[in-house]
Amino acid sequence: MSIVPNIQPQTPCLIGGRAFEWGSKTFVMGVINVTPDSFSGDGVDSDVESAVQTAKNFAKWGCDIIDVGGESTRPSMTYADAATTSEVEELRRVVPAIEAIVAATDLPVSVDTYKATVARAAIEAGASLVNDVWGLQADPDMARVVVSAGVPVVLMHNQDHTRYADVVPDVVGRLAELRDGAIDAGIPQGNIILDPGMGFGKTAANNLDLLARLDELQVLGAPILVGMSRKSTIGKVLDLPPDDRVEGTAATVALSIAGGADIVRVHDVREMVRVSRMTDAVIRGWPPPPAPK
| Active site annotation includes 92 | no
Q: 15 with 108: CB under 8 angstroms?
A: yes
The catalytically annotated residue of 265, 274, 284, 293 is 265
Q: Of residues 120, 231, 245, 274, which has the active-site annotation?
A: 231
Rounded Cα distance, 267 and 33, in Å: 9
CB-based burial label for 251 (10 Å; 0-12, 13-18, 19+)? middle
Is residue 205 within 8 Å of residue 164, measured between CB atoms?
A: no
- Residue 231 designated active-site: yes
CA nearest neighbour of 275 among 228, 240, 223: 228
CA–CA distance, 144 with 82 (Å, rounded to integer): 19
Q: How many angstroms separate the CA atoms of 5 and 200, rounded?
A: 25
Q: Strand pairing partners for 20?
A: 13
**Number of neighbouring beta carbons within 10 Å of residue 82:** 17
d(CA 124, CA 94) in angstroms, rounded, equals: 12
Q: CA 130 to CA 93: how far, in whole Å?
A: 16
Cα–Cα distance for residue pair 243/48, rounded to 1 Å: 22
Q: Looking at the annotation, which residues are catalytic?
A: 231, 265
